[in-house]
Structure 1
Amino acid sequence: MMIKTWCAFLTILLMTGQNLRGQEALHKADSLFAIGQYMAAQELYTSQLSASRHFLPNALLKMAYIAELNGDFTQSLYYLTVLSKQAPSEAVYRKMEAIALKNRLSGYKFDDLGYLVLYLKKYGLWLSLFMIAVTGYVLFELFIKYKKNEHITFVPKAIVVLSLLGLIVLLNIESLYNEGIVSNNPTFLRERPSSASAVTGTVGKGNKVVVLTSRDHWKLVLLKGKLVYIKRDDLLLI
């Protein structure tokens, strides 16, 4: 029992030490960025993010800026897309759209659907809680009516069904709506998940696709309204 306790204590100390070193590295990277030492800052940001797999919004924004400054619009859009998932805002979407328009890329148009996705990301949790409260209240009322042998109309039943369907969508939207950015130029599009399958076209790096499912090392994606397969190695998955 004592050995387990000490092992747990040492694990906590190691994790704390790693967090402190990570914070120091990010602070140093911020300092380098502030004085215009962008390449040195980029190395620190990249190494820290690769080690921790935790993306800080402030670091992501700065890395996107550095990538754009270096002419790497694909990597800049990748960081901004990751940022849009963590801290969704119209400004980030507008910035991605501007870079995409400048480089003639698809998948970044901020239209009515973009607004819907934005608000679902920002307020999805609160909307889910509201729908749970409404559903719970209606179910409680239905239970009272059932106990009193009262007639239950269609409307409350429909509210419960629609609320449950809405909850299912909200709770699973992140897993159902995955995105990827084409990372190689050109990337072949295929009819089936096989290198022997016919090539239906090509797409340049930087274009964003909706990833629907996986099969071996292939991804079935939605690109400009068409379903095609792309190799996993040709995508930066968000």
Structure 2
Amino acid sequence: MKKIILFLTVFFGVFSQSFGKQSDNEQLAKADSLFAQKHYTESFELYQELVFDKQLVSNSMLLKMAFIKEGMKDYGATMYFLNKYYDRTLDQGVLKKMDTLAKNAQLQGYEFGDRAYFSNLYQQYYDLFNVLIFLILSLLLAGFLYYNNKSVTAKWSFVAASWALILFWGLELNIKVDGHRAIVSFPKTAMLDAPSAGGDVVGMIGAGHRVEVVGHQDVWTKILWEGKAVYVKDHNLQLL
């Protein structure tokens, strides 16, 4: 009896997953069809559900959603989807697009350079980079064990190289390459000097600006704006 119950549980689990995947594919096909017919509002709603509710994301979908929002002059959402696309692909073409759009819309926080490029490259291949360090460290350990009783010079060379790599790895794991970033998503977002409704409003910030996130407290996010730390409500930001 238990074997039958287990079999049915596995069967229906696999069936439901297959059905869910088929349903998602049908929804994606419908969204692509609507986009091709220039029914952008309807297609965006379907894409949005797939991306945010079902975690089904593709590079093509991000570009199409950015295109739709740019046509609606919703630069906050446009920059959000372009950022997500760039983080996945490091496409220099979309980087130029973001730079042009930021200049035309007078948006801040989009200064791009070699440091930003290598930072994104590092974050994209973070796991692979650490696996590579681990493999090199394993090879050094194997070399140390092999030469332990054969060559004193070679043995201590492996020891020195291993400790240098361990030190570098420790620093690499703890270093902060870039802070978390976010896109302002609300057209008129108040910036306060304290994480409280009773704080003083020190300025307003529009949608589309990209800011660095440096802290969080309750429903408030601490960001850097023009070199100063200010607080905005969480729901006014889209984290990258």
TM-score when normalising by structure 1: 0.84
Q: Which among 107, 129, 140 is matched to residue 138 of structure 1?
A: 140
Q: Is the CA contact 2:90–2:117 (under 8 Å) kept in the aligned structure 1? A: no
**CA gap 1:212/1:136 in 2 versus in 1, 3 angstroms:** farther
Q: Percent identity among equivalent residues?
A: 26
Q: Is the 8 A contact 2:28 2:46 kept in 1?
A: yes
Deviation at 1:213, TM superposition (A): 2.8
Contact kept in structure 1, 2:24 and 2:50, CA below 8 Å: yes
2:224 matched residue in structure 1: 222
Greater mean deviation of Cα atoms: 178-187 or 101-110: 178-187
**Which amino acid counterpart does residue 39 of structure 1 have in structure 2?**
T
Q: Cα deviations across residues 119-150 of structure 1 (Å, max 9, x unaligned)?
A: 22444344333322233333444566777895
How many positions carry a matched residue from both structures? 234
Q: Distance in 2 between matches of 1:165 and 1:144?
A: 28
Query: Residue 10 of structure 1: CA displacement?
Result: 1.3
Query: Could you tell which deviates more after superposition, 193-202 or 134-143?
Result: 134-143
Letter aligned with residue 165 of structure 1: L
Kindly state the Cα deviation for residue 181 of structure 1 after the two structures are TM-superposed: 0.9
Partner of 1:212: 214
Q: What letter matches 2:134 in structure 1?
A: I
Q: Match for residue 105 of structure 2?
A: 103
| 2:203 is equivalent to residue 197 of structure 1 | no
Counterpart of 2:13 in structure 1 is 11
2: CA distance, partners of 1:40 / 1:194: 38
Decide which of 162, 168, 171 is 2:168's aligned counterpart.
162
Superimposed CA distance per residue, residues 148-189 of structure 1 (whole angstroms, 9 cap, x where no aligned partner):
8958479533333113322x158x86xx74221111232222
SS in 2 for 1:222: strand
Deviations 1:181-225 (A, max 9, x none): 111232222232212223332211111112233211111223333
Shift of 1:14: 1.6
Q: CA deviation at 1:11?
A: 2.4
Aligned mates of 1:64, 1:101 — CA distance in 2: 17
Q: 1:89: how far off?
A: 1.9
Indicate the structure (1 or 2) with the bigger Cα radius of gyration: 2
Structure 2 equivalent of residue 233 of structure 1: 235
Q: How well do the aligned residues superpose, as a CA RMSD in angstroms?
A: 2.7
Taking structure 2 as the reference length, what is the TM-score of the superposition?
A: 0.83
Q: Greater shift after overlay, 215-224 or 19-28?
A: 215-224
Shifted more, 181-190 versus 73-82: the winner is 181-190
Unaligned stretches of 5+ residues in structure 1:
none
Distance 1:103 1:192, change over 3 A: same
Any unmatched runs of 5+ in structure 2?
none
Secondary structure at the residue paired with 2:14?
A: helix
Q: Which amino acid aligns with 1:108?
A: Y
DSSP 3-state at the match of 1:212: strand
How far apart are 1:32 and its partner, in Å? 2.1
Whichever residue aligns with residue 76 of structure 2, its letter is T
Q: Which residue of 1 aligns with 2:30?
A: 28
**Mapped partners of 1:146, 1:225: distance in 2:** 54
Residues 22-59 of structure 1: CA distance to partner in whole angstroms, max 9, x if unpaired? 11111121122223222232222223334312222111
**Where in structure 2 are the equivalents of 1:75-90 lying within 5 Å?**
75-90=77-92
